[in-house]
Amino acid sequence: MAIEDTPEEALRVARRSLEHFFGSVENGLKRTIVGDPQEAIERLRAYVKAGADHIELRILAHTMEHYLSTARRIAEEVIGEIREAELA
C-alpha cells in the first residue's frame, strides 16, 4: 500500500516495489492499493463488502521515517474513516 497526497505521488513511491514484487507496475496495481487516502478507503471498503474479514497491509516506503508517517496516515485517515462508517 502506498498512500500519498496524489495518486501520481503514490505511484512514484511505489513504482520500484511494484516492479520488483510483481514484475511490472501494471501487475502490481492490480494487487496493491496505490493512491490517495480516499482511493484507499474505497478499495478497502470494496474488499469488506466482498466479504473480507482480514486484510494484510504492506506499506511501500523507502525510508523508516516515510514508513512510519505512512503507517500513521493509514491509521488516522484510512482505517479511522472506515471504522467511523461502521459505527454510524
Q: Per residue in 40-82, pLDDT tens?
A: 999 999 988 899 888 899 999 999 999 999 999 999 999 988 8
Q: How confident is the model at residue 87 (pLDDT cuts 50, 70, 90)?
A: low
Residue 17: other Cβ atoms inside 10 A: 19
Q: How far apart are CA 88 and CA 16, in angstroms?
A: 39
To the nearest 10 degrees (0 to 180), the angle between helices 37-49 and 80-87 is 50
Q: How far apart are CA 61 and CA 76, in angstroms?
A: 17
The answer to whether the beta carbons of residues 35 and 3 sit under 8 Å apart is yes
pLDDT at 83 (0 to 100):
77
pLDDT at 69 (0 to 100):
96
DSSP H helices, the chain, are 7-22, 25-31, 37-49, 64-73, 80-87
Any idea where the domains of the chain sit in the sequence? 2-87
